[in-house]
């Protein structure tokens, strides 16, 4: 069974904190993605990675960075959390040229 695991289901952080969201996949997929889901805005791509140490900006990369040191792990970093980063964060993985992507269960982050 394919699996994408996000380290936390719920997180509460303070404004200005550095926040790490971790994602691990066990399918040996090349691609990994970070999205955020907000009401009325759907899923918006923050960053994606097509190989170890490779990354590309998505549509809303401002305020975020990513790290992919190993193929199975893709981390999203909020350098200095702000209240407008309160959201549901979803990690996904896929093979190259994806026909489908597999998602984790999501992390609901609240920044207070």
Binding site for another protein (CB under 8 A): 4, 9, 31, 33, 35, 40-45, 48, 50, 56, 58-59, 90, 92, 94, 96-106
CA of residue 110 relative to chain centroid, distance? 15
Q: By C-beta, is 63 or 98 nearer to another protein? A: 98
- The minimum distance between CB 8 and another protein, in angstroms, equals 13
Q: How many of the other CB atoms lie within 10 Å of CB of 25? A: 22
Q: By C-beta, is 38 or 79 nearer to another protein? A: 38
Provide the 3-class DSSP secondary structure of residue 39: coil
How many DSSP H helices and E strands does the chain contain? 0, 11
- The minimum distance between CB 23 and another protein, in angstroms, equals 11
Both tokens assigned to 16? 């200005």
């Amino acid at each position: 069974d394919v699996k994408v695991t996000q380290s936390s289901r719920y997180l509460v952080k303070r404004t200005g904190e550095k926040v790490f969201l971790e994602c691990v996949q066990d399918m040996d997929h090349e691609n990994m993605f970070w999205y955020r889901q907000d009401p009325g805005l759907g899923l918006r791509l923050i960053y994606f990675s097509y190989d170890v140490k490779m990354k590309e900006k998505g549509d809303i990369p401002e305020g975020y960075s990513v790290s992919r040191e190993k193929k199975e792990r893709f981390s999203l970093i909020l350098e200095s959390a702000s209240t407008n980063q309160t959201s549901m964060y979803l990690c996904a993985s896929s093979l190259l040229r994806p026909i489908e992507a597999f998602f984790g269960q999501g992390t609901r982050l609240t920044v207070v």
